[in-house]
Structure 1
Amino acid sequence: MKVNMEQVYTSVACNRTTEIADWNAEGLICFGASHSVVIYNTAERTKDPLTVLSHHKSLVNSVKWLRKPDGTCTELLSCSADKTAAVWTLENGQWTVTSTLVGHADGVTCIHGVYDDEELLVYTGSIDSTVKVWERRNGVTALKQTIPLHSGLCLTLHAHILPTHKAILFCALDDHKIHVYTGEEYHKVHTLAGHEDWVRGLDVLDVDDSTIILASASQDTYIRLWRLQKHVEQAPSKGIRVEQKVFSVYDEQWTVKLEAVLAGHEGWVYGVQWQPCGIGESNKKPIYRLLSSSLDKTLIIWEPESSPQKGEGEGAWVERVRVGEVGGNGLGFYGSRFGPGDKFLGHGYNGSFHIWEFNQETSQWQPSVVCGGHFSAVEDVRWEPRHGRYIMSVSADQTTRVHAPWNNQYGSQWHELSRPQVHGYDLASLALVNSTTFVSAAEEKVIRVFRAPHNFVHNFKNIVGDVIEQDGKGPEGASVPSLGLSNKAVFIGDDEQNDADDDNDGYFVPVDMTEPPTEETLMQNTLWPEVQKLYGHGYEVFALDASADGTLVASACKATTAEHAAVLLWETKTWQQTQKLISHQLTVTQLAFSPDSHQLLSVSRDRRWTLYQREEGSNSFAIAASTDKTNGVHSRIIWCCAWSFDGKAFGTGSREGKVCIWSKSNPTETSLKDYGILGKPLDTNTSVTALAFAPKRERNSLFIATGFETGVIRLYRFDNDGWELLKELDRSTAHHLTVKRLSFKPTEEDKMLLASCGSDHLVRIYSVSVV
């Protein structure tokens, strides 16, 4: 038997650092997401445009393309808090690490690389107060020089090959100054002083064979342009002259003077980039453009005005384009990059991408559809019940997100369509009651119930092409009062509600969408109204599940006593607590209703599972079976559980690496009663953190997806002959940190869809076919 698994969807946001994304002329964006490097093909409109590369052991701090003199990019750089940097090379269509740069004593915070003829020079800055220079010759990369930074921490650096084919290095340190290093042994030759706060962005532009311009962006809200050129003796002048400093570069005299100070941002300026050469008509004098990004929620493109005395592009620097976010809870931009053609990118505090493209017809800059995702660990992911038309995920980034396929003229591609909940606590669990209602749990004692507004149902039909049934029209949307955590319903046409109250930041505005929304729209206009709060737990709610018939919700919280480890049952018509099920001694880690809604399974940190049976004709449950120290099989925490699609068996997975399948068997006098283990346990020797049964059976076999603490996902077949491994997705194709949840699309089709989420911020969907 053969199993094929194909990646359908990947959702993730970039890390919250300044130089975490870069864009090349081929339309590929590289960025760091958790411990991984991601390649985003912006030209891909049908398949999954993201490729996740796993190598680093800690958070990725910076990613940069290596641009060859002809503008092509077949290599990139990454650096990480794991004290290393890496050179990635595209070989036979695959990105592989061809050099690992090891030598820093602490995390590597910034990186830059340049080609010197055919050789490569890489510069890395670290928290250990050094900058290291690496040289690759004849395919071998070695440490060339270590530059001690007596002044302190290197915040960012930029290297450049001068017209004389010699390297010059600019380092922005925590003394607010830019230090210039040249020579074979990289001696400091000059210091550029002027900024009054940390410099966070640097970029260099070639003007001619004897002149370069350095742009520096600072947390003092200003951008400074420094003109460096070969020194030419000039006759003394009686007029006012800009002060010039002379210093030696490779036995040549160079001068530096302050060309301009650009004041337009109102917050810290984190990113600055010159528009790459080669854009525009070659027979004209190039127009220099500079892109900057700031925490004031704006991006600005700067351009020199025409001067009557000096000619076109030689006057004062002015704003040509200003774009950004309006409202919402974003905290501005951490970086920005020019893209191919008339496009540019900004990445924000929430790890979101924003791409603007120039529309020739309207002569306006318009936002484009981009990929997105969570920027912290994804704790849970669930399919829409019955039909599986969308998935919903919750994360420690305090958001709940809806992902669905966008069906357009090019085909079908998954995107984030809605953000029902933007919370103030890290979210932990999720349960969908029906197509339009879900409950979520966070690091609080309250369970919150949400219902889809009319605007979501309307836009879902426009984008996906599928109709979600809704009981009555209900509210149009929702908004969040300032200083509040509850989404407040908004009814269009209700004068009392329609007036934008003073307590609403970013009031909801109905949006008619035919394509996936932008980040601003997601944060402000795709919330779902909160319809109920459920109180009853003494500590933070940790696990949730809803019955397949939509009548019940089960919940459990963090606990160290039997009283607090009780499972609470809620009836969904009135949202009243109907029962308190006491069995476990410690936190219940996962809950699962059987497909027929007649049984409820709980697993716990106390190494036990308990099965509750629904009493005939009521919503009450009683303990039908449980494990104890004598028959439990599991010797460590049971992290996960799942039911087979027909409800005849269930599985449990634990920290010591065992997966057990349980079913009805001969009655016993033990706590198992009518239940027993099927066959032998699967022993993986790796902590099992997620389980899911495929919605089909072939030749009396069960197909079981297992997720591990290592990030690996495996698909097994289980039958009377035991366990058979059918497919393994390693860290490079699955997750590079703990798999938190696996979930199969509930409909039985030739190609099954498996959703997964993990601590690495990723939500993924795989197409699974059994041959």
Structure 2
Amino acid sequence: MLFLPPSAPDWQTRPESGQNPKPVPLQAILLSNRRILSMVDFHHEYIAVGGNRHPSAADWDPLSGLLAFGADSNVATWLPSDQQNQGVRSLLRGHTDHVNAVRFFPAAQGQPQIILSGSTDKTVRIWQAQSTSSLRFNSVATLEGHSSSINRLGVFHDGDIIVSGSADSTIKIWRLNVRGDGIDTELLQSIETNPRFFPLALALHKLPTAEDLVLAAAGTKGSVQIYVASKGEKFLHQATLTGHEGWIRSLAITQENLSAGSDLLLASASQDKYIRLWRIINGRESPKTKEGDPLGAVEQSLSNKAHKLETSQKSYSITFEALLLGHEDWIYTISWHLQRDSLQLLSASADNSIAIWQLEVSSGIWVCTTRLGEISAQKGSTTATGSTGGFWIGLWGPGGETVVSLGRTGSWRLWNYDKGQARWIQGIGISGHTKLVADVAWSKDGSYLLSTGADQTTRLHAAWEHGGKRSWHEMARPQIHGYDLNCIDSISRTQIVSGADEKLLRVFDEPRATADLLDHLCGIQTSTQNNLPLAANIPVLGLSNKAVDITEDAEPQVNANVNGDEAATPLNYGQPSDVEHPPFEDQLARHTLWPEHEKLYGHGYEISAVAASYDGSLVATSCRASSLDHAVIRLYTSTDWRQIRPSLAAHSLTVTALCFSKDDRYLLSVGRDRQWAIFEKDIAVPERYRLKHANPKGHSRMILAACWAPIKAGRIFATAGRDKNVKIWSMYDAIVECIVTIMSPASFTAVDIFPQLLQDSLVIAVGTETGDLGLHIVKLPHWSIEQKHQLSTALQPAKFISKLSWRPWLAADVANGIEDQEPVLKDLHLAMASDDSSLRLFAIIGLLEN
């Protein structure tokens, strides 16, 4: 390694007229004969995304073990049984609005998997795996015909028929013919519901001892409509099942046992908190009450009559079977599991519980044998904590020994049945934002990643090192707020700052519990743990995280609130030091909050941008503005949180991005007024900055992002604008000139330059409003774009990229301010935040040669 002495100039000289600026010899970084390669692969290292809160927005394939669920306008795939704990494997992009319904279609032996998805965009998309063993899917067909949002899909796993229910009050019957080279689709029938209702639940099955099909449909009425069709004929309405007193959210139908000609059991779950079971038998007569059955009289009183179902070949009847009581709130989903002669029903409810029901043979009564979820008095101090709002989805895993549930926070929880202990044990699930991700920021040393967004949460992500394996997980949820969060940055290794729509900023300190957890699971050490508070909680009806601490000999105090519930004691907070797995969702929501250290006041409108200096001494902020008075940049010191006056004025509209240079000498700002401004540190008063340069016409439309290049390249910065240009600017003496322009068919919304020079080249990542991600290699000193790499469409987000952030080198010298360290990693890591609610971490493989 060769390094020029620190006194070597890092400026550029002014070029002659008509020439590109040529820097004087730079402080070179020699990469041991490694070179930048032309073939680059973008690998999804980590995807964090929350599930859509819709009862039909997920399905679990019993053959492959793959779980697919709606995530904003994408379809996410996950292998819950994966021993590597890699989380979400892929996001299928194609829909233009929220995905409400997801189902697996039964593929023939040797055929690739097929996923069906229905969306608010009024279409059903068909996704087919690229091969029989692939987890990558392609959109192969689109079903159109509904005039409103599609809310439910029904599939029978032994046929080629699918059913779609829409908010246009129609049910459409489709046939799918899977061929070797594609899929043919055909609309067979369109059913107008009468009386009109929105189909929220559909169940399709073959009738006993025949090839006739039965279709149950329900929704925004308290009744279930039964349709029957013989093979090759249309579905005809045959019966209406009444009894529920609220909307029916879910239907599930199955054989009673595995014997041929077995009766069918239909379950209906409603917002009236009850589950009703209905029996479909072959023949006209209803089953008689067993002699000695103590519930015989009750059952007959609840059963109105035997409904007759007629086809061209057979006759059937459907009768009321049982009423299941136990949930205390709306029931969103129900699902059968049949194995040998054991039949179980899984229900998910808004009362924060998952229940498993089974028939007690001795009494003939359906009883709740297991209840999972949150059944304690403590439900969380805000609606964002815990699962307040309940579980929206409950699914059986293959074999019936695993169940998963989706809660209000968009996170999946998983339970595995332990035969040795004869109980259900919680496993590692997945989590993510449920609305747009507004901002991401790395810790100063690159050890963990922070994200924040419109779902009013701030999340901390880090890599879990376990048994020679490495996987990324959400390790803490520092902030759960009552306002949409817009921006975040790391002040120091143990302190962060975030801005929201509430017009002020909040500073948080890392608690000792999180520091211990990151040290134990991720090898991230903190030298100041003794000075950290234990943990934090949110007071009832409050927005400020309060520090919680306790001495070793202190007695826990339990206080009752106005509702009589027990308040959590300090001993309940934080993670045990010997925990061997990432926190579960209930632990994330309650026990990983960061205590609030300070509030920063001064802005009159919603916070739009925040940036902390690299030495952590200053915080720069801005807010939404339509006038000069509010479009100012405010600076705060991190020692006493004093605002430095006067505020920095240059813009006339909202400042959209702020960025300190690597040595904190300059502060760059860009805004909706199409201009950029550079403020220089005052030598006499280092905490003050003064306007040095401004360009009122930096772009022809608003500027949305900006960043600085490594100091080794000179005083170089980039701006990205709505005018579909990314401009690279060079500042020397009193002149700032544009030296490189990157153009795109779509508006640019994000830009970031890798914080190191790689063989005298800048690696620039750019993102657009259509989700395109590109890498541009700019060679110095000629300032020519040597290479361009584009992210494939299949890996792109469905909506605009809101932020890009390169991970700093994980080298000790970087933390000490030495930037001329040889890269210690072969792959570069790039974090991406998107409006489609996804946070993605890419490993850029192959950019550097070994």
Normalising by structure 2, what TM-score?
0.84
Which deviates more from structure 2 when the two are superposed, residues 488-497 or residues 415-424? 488-497
Aligned equivalents of 1:614 and 1:19: distance in 2?
Answer: 56
CA RMSD of aligned residues (A): 2.2
1:124 touches 1:133 (CA, 8 Å); kept in 2? Answer: yes
Which deviates more from structure 2 when the two are superposed, residues 455-464 or residues 713-722? 713-722
1:189 touches 1:249 (CA, 8 Å); kept in 2? Answer: no
1:657 touches 1:686 (CA, 8 Å); kept in 2? Answer: yes
Which deviates more from structure 2 when the two are superposed, residues 216-225 or residues 36-45? 36-45
Aligned to 1:312: none
Aligned with 2:204 (options 153, 159, 164): 159
Paired amino acid for 2:263 = T
Aligned to 2:819: none
Per-residue CA deviation, residues 419-458 of structure 1 (Å, 9 max, x unaligned), is: 0000000100001001110000010111100000111111
User: Using CA pairs below 8 Å that are at least 6 residues apart, which structure has the higher relative contact order?
Assistant: 2
Query: CA offset at residue 410 of structure 1?
Result: 4.9
Aligned to 1:59: 98
Aligned to 2:818: none
**Could you say what secondary structure the match of 1:397 adopts?**
coil
Per-residue CA deviation, residues 457-484 of structure 1 (Å, 9 max, x unaligned), is: 1111111122122264331000000000
Query: CA offset at residue 711 of structure 1?
Result: 0.9
> Is the aligned partner of 1:27 residue 2:65?
yes
Per-residue CA deviation, residues 173-229 of structure 1 (Å, 9 max, x unaligned), is: 322111011222211111111111011011111135152110111000000000011
Aligned equivalents of 1:571 and 1:497: distance in 2?
Answer: 38
Aligned equivalents of 1:71 and 1:300: distance in 2?
Answer: 36
Change in Cα spacing, 1:654 to 1:500, as seen in structure 2 (3 Å) is: farther
Aligned to 1:172: 218
Query: CA offset at residue 306 of structure 1?
Result: 2.1
Paired amino acid for 1:481 = P
2:357 touches 2:366 (CA, 8 Å); kept in 1? Answer: yes
> Is the aligned partner of 1:227 residue 2:279?
yes
2:515 touches 2:529 (CA, 8 Å); kept in 1? Answer: no
> 1:191-230 residue pairs with structure 2 within 5 A?
191-207=240-256, 208-230=260-282
> Is the aligned partner of 1:108 residue 2:172?
no
Aligned equivalents of 2:662 and 2:100: distance in 1?
Answer: 44
2:682 touches 2:688 (CA, 8 Å); kept in 1? Answer: yes
Query: CA offset at residue 60 of structure 1?
Result: 0.4
Paired amino acid for 1:740 = S
Aligned equivalents of 2:680 and 2:54: distance in 1?
Answer: 50
Unaligned runs of 5+ in 1: 309-314, 668-672
Query: CA offset at residue 683 of structure 1?
Result: 1.7
> 1:208-607 residue pairs with structure 2 within 5 A?
208-233=260-285, 243-275=305-337, 277=338, 279=339, 282=340, 286-307=341-362, 315-325=364-374, 326=376, 327-328=379-380, 329=385, 330=387, 331-341=389-399, 342-385=401-444, 387-470=445-528, 472-493=530-551, 499-502=557-560, 506-507=568-569, 508-512=572-576, 513-579=579-645, 580-607=647-674
2:87 touches 2:430 (CA, 8 Å); kept in 1? Answer: no
Per-residue CA deviation, residues 716-746 of structure 1 (Å, 9 max, x unaligned), is: 0123253345211144213111111111111
Aligned equivalents of 2:287 and 2:405: distance in 1?
Answer: 46
Query: CA offset at residue 383 of structure 1?
Result: 0.7
1:639 touches 1:690 (CA, 8 Å); kept in 2? Answer: yes
> Is the aligned partner of 1:750 residue 2:826?
yes
Query: CA offset at residue 698 of structure 1?
Result: 3.1
Aligned to 1:733: 795
Higher strand share: 1
1:77 touches 1:113 (CA, 8 Å); kept in 2? Answer: no
Aligned equivalents of 1:235 and 1:261: distance in 2?
Answer: 17
**Could you say what secondary structure the match of 1:351 adopts?**
coil
Change in Cα spacing, 1:758 to 1:192, as seen in structure 2 (3 Å) is: same
> Is the aligned partner of 1:705 residue 2:705?
no
1:711 touches 1:730 (CA, 8 Å); kept in 2? Answer: no
Query: CA offset at residue 496 of structure 1?
Result: 9.3
Aligned equivalents of 1:236 and 1:726: distance in 2?
Answer: 75
2:628 touches 2:653 (CA, 8 Å); kept in 1? Answer: yes
1:710 touches 1:731 (CA, 8 Å); kept in 2? Answer: no
Paired amino acid for 1:621 = Y
Aligned to 2:677: 610
**Could you say what secondary structure the match of 1:182 adopts?**
strand
> Is the aligned partner of 1:642 residue 2:707?
yes
Query: CA offset at residue 16 of structure 1?
Result: 1.1
Aligned to 1:142: 186
Aligned equivalents of 1:13 and 1:234: distance in 2?
Answer: 46
Aligned to 2:838: 762
Unaligned runs of 5+ in 2: 1-36, 810-822
**Could you say what secondary structure the match of 1:455 adopts?**
helix
Q: Give structure 1 regions of 4+ aligned residues with deviation exceeding 6 angstroms.
A: 69-73, 234-239, 494-497
> Is the aligned partner of 1:38 residue 2:114?
no
Aligned equivalents of 1:558 and 1:366: distance in 2?
Answer: 47
Per-residue CA deviation, residues 108-127 of structure 1 (Å, 9 max, x unaligned), is: 1111122555xx21111111
Per-residue CA deviation, residues 570-608 of structure 1 (Å, 9 max, x unaligned), is: 000111101310110000000001111111000000000
Quote the sequence identity (%): 34
**Could you say what secondary structure the match of 2:347 adopts?**
strand
Normalising by structure 1, what TM-score?
0.93
Change in Cα spacing, 1:250 to 1:202, as seen in structure 2 (3 Å) is: farther
2:631 touches 2:649 (CA, 8 Å); kept in 1? Answer: yes
Per-residue CA deviation, residues 496-542 of structure 1 (Å, 9 max, x unaligned), is: 99534556965552321221111100000000000101111011111
1:506 touches 1:524 (CA, 8 Å); kept in 2? Answer: no
